[in-house]
Structure 1
C-alpha cells in the first residue's frame, strides 16, 4: 500500500529534524522537507542534505526573497502598518508566504498534510494554519508541539539520539531567533524577565547606538508610487536596496527596539528586534506621505494602518478585508513619489528634507514673508464659520446663566 505524504516546514534545526523522524515513526508518512529562504543567512545545501539523511524522500529549498519583499514587505510598508506602535512585523508577514509555498508543494506532490514546528504558545501556529486553511482547507495540519509527548529541548535531544538524527555539537544559544532580510528577533533567555536590561552582545545586524560613529550619516531614498527604488541616486533591485539600507542603518545602530507585545494567543511576550533598513524605509515613506497626502486622507489612512497591522500580526493575510484595504492603500500611493533625506546618528533616524513632484506644500502660501496669493482677511470669515458651533453653545450657556440669575432674584 502506497504511503501518504506530508510536507514539513523544515529549517534543519533540532526541532524540525526531530519532527521529520517523528512524522515517519508516528504516522508512517513519507516526508517532503521544505526550507524556505526569505533572506536569512544559512547553509542551504547542508540543510537540504540533512533532511535527506534524516529520512525525507524529497528536500526542497526555495529562494523567495524577492517575492517576500515585493509582495509582502512593500504592501505593508505602503500601508504604514506598525503593530502596537513599535513592531514592524518582520516575522508576521513572512509566515503567509511560507504557508503559500507549502500549500503549492503539497498540491503538486499530492500530500495530504502540512506539518510545522511552531509551538502552542506562539503566534506562528495561527499564521501558518490560518493561511493554509484560506488557501486549501482540504489539507490536514499537524502541529507536533501540541500533541506529542516531547516537552523540552532535552526530550528532543534524547529522541534524536535514539533515532540517529545528527545533532550539531555547538553551545546552545539561549535565545530563540527568527531572521530574514527584513529583521531578526530575539526572545527567551534573560529577556523573559522584563526587568532585565538586554545585553548589547545580542545584536546580529547592528552595532549598539553607543558604539556607532560619532558623526552622522545622511541617506537619500527615492520612491515611486510608495515603493522604494533608489538609494542616494542609485537604482537597485529590491534585494540589493534592502541589503544596502541594512548595512548603512546597522552601522549606525538604527532600528533596535526592546518591547513587550500582546500575542494573539492571549499572553504578553518580550522581544528585542533589529530592523535596520526597514526602519529607514518606514521613516522615509511616512515623511513623503506627509508631503503628498491631504489631511483627510492621512487621518483616515492612520486607522487603516492600525487595522492592517493587526491583520498581518494575526495571520489574516489571505482575507477579503486585507484585499479591500490593499485597494484603498494603493489608491493613496499614486502620488507618493519623490525623495527623502534621512539623518542617522547613534541609533536615531530622522527625516531632514523631502521633495516630490506631487508635493502639496506651497511656499507661496506658507511663507511668513509678503505674498500675493493669500488674503489674510479671508481667515476671519472662515474662523467665524468654523467656530460657529462653539459660539452657539456659549450663547446658550450665557442665556441659561442669565435666566438662573433672574429666577433667583424673583425668589
Structure 2
C-alpha cells in the first residue's frame, strides 16, 4: 500500500483575549514536553513537535504541508515563523522534509479559518500537492502526544474521519434558551469531550466545509460539519493532559514564572563632515560637524536599533530601513527606532537594560549625557534607569581621534515572560 500524504492545519487565528497578556498565547515561551532537555520552545512549536515526530516515524504516512492560520487583522507571519522555529527539532525536521510553513489569515470564526486553510491546500500548484489526509489541531494544545496523533491518523485513514475523546468528569445538562433551567438530563456514559487533532479525508472534508459555508448554520468544530454532510466520525482515546491553553493559569507554573533572556549587540560608524547636524541619541549637539548618512545619521540610535533587533532575532536595521529606499532619506532615527521597537514589543520582548559606548573626540559628551539617556528612554517608553550611555575618546588616534568619524557600540538585554 502506498503511503498516504498528510497535511497539518494549526489554527491560531484567535486574538488570545482571554489569555490576559500582551502577547499571543501561541507565541508564549514553553519548554518542550516531548524533549525535556530542550528549553527554547513556544506553545506553537510544542504543538508542532509531536506531529512531526509522529508522522515522520511512521512509514505509512508522508508529511507534505503545514498551514498555520493567523488573526485576520494582523500580519503576524514573522512572529509566527519565529515562534514555530523556536524548537530546534521543528526547525530541523522542516528542513529535512523540505516543508515550508504556509501562514495564512484566518476568518472571524474557527469554521471560516479552517475553510480558508482547506481552500489554500486545494489551490492548484504544481509544486505543492493536495494531501490524502488532513489533520486539524488547535495550535494552543501543546501537550498532544504522538500516540494520539498516530491513532487519529490510522482511524481517519480507515474510516474517513476520526477524533480523540475523553469521558467527561462533570455532569452535563441541556438548558433552556434563557439559561434559567435544565430541560434535559444527559446520561454521562453516552458523552465524550472531543479534543484535537481531528483527522479527515481531505477532499470530503473540503466538500463538507463548502456546504456548511452556504447553509448559514453555526458549527463548533469539524466533526460536526463532517457529521452533517458526510456521516460518522469515529473516536479514539484522548488524553486529559491534551488541554487547550485558554487562560494564563492553563500553562505550567514554570512557564508562567520563567523568563527568556536574549542579548543583542549593535554598532555603527559615520564620517563627520561640515554642514551636517551632530545628532547623538536624538539630541542635537552644537558642533561644526555632523554625521554623513542616508538618514539623519544618529550613530547612537542606529547602534541601539541594531542591538534590539539582533536580540529579538527579527531583522537588522538595513533590512527594515534599506538605504536604497528613498523613503528613509534624511529620516529621523528616533522614528526608525520607535518603529523597530514597536515590532519587537509586539513579539513579546521587553527591555531589561541598554549599555552604550560613544566614541568621539570632540565635543565632550558628559554635559549632554542625561538628556541623551532621557531621550532614549522616552523613545523606548521605559525608565531612564534602563539606559546608560558613556563616551570615550580615541586619544588622537585614527579617524575618530582625528575628528573625522564618530562611532557607537550598544549591548542590550531583552526578556520575554
For this structure pair, what is the TM-score category when the shorter chain's length is used for normalisation?
under 0.3
- Which has more strand, going by share of residues? 2
TM-score (norm 2): 0.25
TM-score (norm 1): 0.25
- Which has more helix, going by share of residues? 1
